[in-house]
């Protein structure tokens, strides 16, 4: 066996554990984002934007519906939460205005 084939075989064998790990990984959460989830807590997500009034990043009028990450056409999903549903009137610290 020449060196090139040996290296290809070694690379192929080294990927086998990655494939089996990926298939046994827990599925991503689905449905509506809950405020007590770790990612939601990390982003300070609240279902009612006015509940964020004590957050220094919050500005009155900012909410999920007018955020660039909100996808109304995709079941009110948020790209930051893998497309899972968020409240239109919610808010998180990653809020950014929709491009005009």
pLDDT in tens, 71-88: 999 999 999 999 999 999
Is pTM beyond 0.85 here? no
Alpha-carbon gap, residue 35 to 51, rounded angstroms: 11
For the segment 28-47, the average pLDDT, to the nearest whole number, is 93
Q: Which domains are seen in the chain, by residue range? A: 32-100 (4.10.490.10)
Q: Is the pLDDT of residue 42 over 80?
A: yes
Nearest Cα residue to 90 out of 77, 98, 82, 100: 77
Give the 3-state DSSP-derived string for the chain, with helices as H, strands as E and coil as C. Answer: CCHHHHHHHHHHHHHHHHHHHHHHCCCCCCCECCCCCHHHHHCCCECCHHHHCCCCCCCCCCCHHHECCEEHHHCCEEHHHCCEECCCCCECCCCCECCC
């Amino acid at each position: 066996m020449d060196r090139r084939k040996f290296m290809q075989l070694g690379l192929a064998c080294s990927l086998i554990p990655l494939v089996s790990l990926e298939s046994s990984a827990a599925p991503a959460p689905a449905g509506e984002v809950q405020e007590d989830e770790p990612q939601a807590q990390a982003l300070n997500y609240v279902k009612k934007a006015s509940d964020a009034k004590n957050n220094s990043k919050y500005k009155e009028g900012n909410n999920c519906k007018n955020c660039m990450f909100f996808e109304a056409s995709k079941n009110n999903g948020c790209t930051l939460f893998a497309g899972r549903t968020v409240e239109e009137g919610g808010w998180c610290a990653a809020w950014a205005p929709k491009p005009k």
